Amino acid sequence: MQRRTFLQGLAAAGALSGLPLGFANAMTQTGSVSVESLPKLEGDLTLYLGRGEGGLYENVLKAIEKRNPKLNLKVRRGGSAALANTIVAETKAGVKRADLFWAVDTGSIGVVTDIGAAKPLPNDLTAQLREDFQYPSWSPVTGRVRTLPYNTERVKPEQIPESVMALADSDLKIGWAPAYSSFQSFVTAMRILEGDKATKSWLKGINKHSKKYAGELGVVMGVERGEVDIGFANHYYTLRLKSGKPDANVALAYTKGDAGCLVNASGIVALSEGDLPVNFIRYLLSQEVQSYLAREAYEIPLVQGVDQPQGLASLSTLSPPEMDLRKLADLRPTLNLMREVGVL
């Protein structure tokens, strides 16, 4: 969907309805809700926005503003981790500048919720989300799953182990981006699930037969070019590559029950009391916004009843590890371990 179409579509949704559907309708539903059912946003609202998805989040904000002309939205932009640390500092100083924090990773969300800065969310809002993504003090917006993109001419599916830990001892040439934040969150999950000793050994093993890239799009492109056999990357990099090059020699494999198939999420926290911050979050969980991010960013809608991107295995068929995603905020030990091994 083009940016102009999305802006006009979200802004005009429901404009031709004879009678407003009313907020009560949204309150009684689980799953996706159209913006037609949502109340107008009026007043001042300050959002701290972690940069993400090449400006697509900005498109969402512009569409919400266009639909709600009485909303005075102020946005502070920056890296999610840096903004989380700013919120911590402001909270400790007794200063409140942000009403909402939209982060591209749950580690940053954990930094904020751990200090008690997040306000509880109403049950009807969290009930819209998939059951395993319902949290009382923050709302996931969209998800991304860790995957193993592999070159279809160099590797057969049966050569790929179901355990990510087994890749350290394989003969496959591996592409990775250890300096990339998503990879570091993945290693943090491995530390939590497998322990520091096993993670350290894994990093050493992978390092012996790997090629480094600056980012995970580079990993997927390297896989497709045949520079490596397989790589580590969030799912959407492969889907984006294949959307522009349908015959690309790359496909997705998934591990089972470990950090290799971790489902992480972008998320939002309400930092102020009242209806306005919560109702803003409702817009992010609307059918229109969730569908837009699935189509354009290839992110996974976490609201029930919204179709996920094509080319990705259904979440119901995957077996991600069970863990509180906020624990991914424990990043410092991960960085120390990676530096000790020499991969950073």
CB-based contacts of 155, cutoff 8 Å, min separation 6: 172, 229, 230
Instruction: Find out whether 236 is annotated in a ligand binding site.
Output: yes
CB 233 within 8 A of CB 178: no
Distance set, CA 209 to CA 125, 171, 213 (Å): 46, 8, 14
In eight-state DSSP terms, residue 167 is G
DSSP 31: S
- The C-alpha atoms of residue 117 and residue 87 are separated, in whole angstroms, by 8
Contact 245, 322 (CB under 8 A): no
Residue 254, annotated ligand binder? no
User: Is the CA virtual torsion 327, 329, 334, 336 positive or negative?
Assistant: negative
Q: How many CB atoms lie within 10 A of CB 249?
A: 14
DSSP 8-state code for residue 209: T
Beta bridge partners of 33: 286
Which residues fall within 8 angstroms of residue 58, CB to CB, at 6 or more apart? none
Say if CB 290 and CB 301 are below 8 A apart.
Answer: yes
Number of H helices, E strands in the chain: 13, 11
CA 302, 305, 309, 313 torsion-angle sign:
positive
Which residues are known binding-site members?
Answer: 236-237
Which residues are known binding-site members for Fe cation?
Answer: 236-237
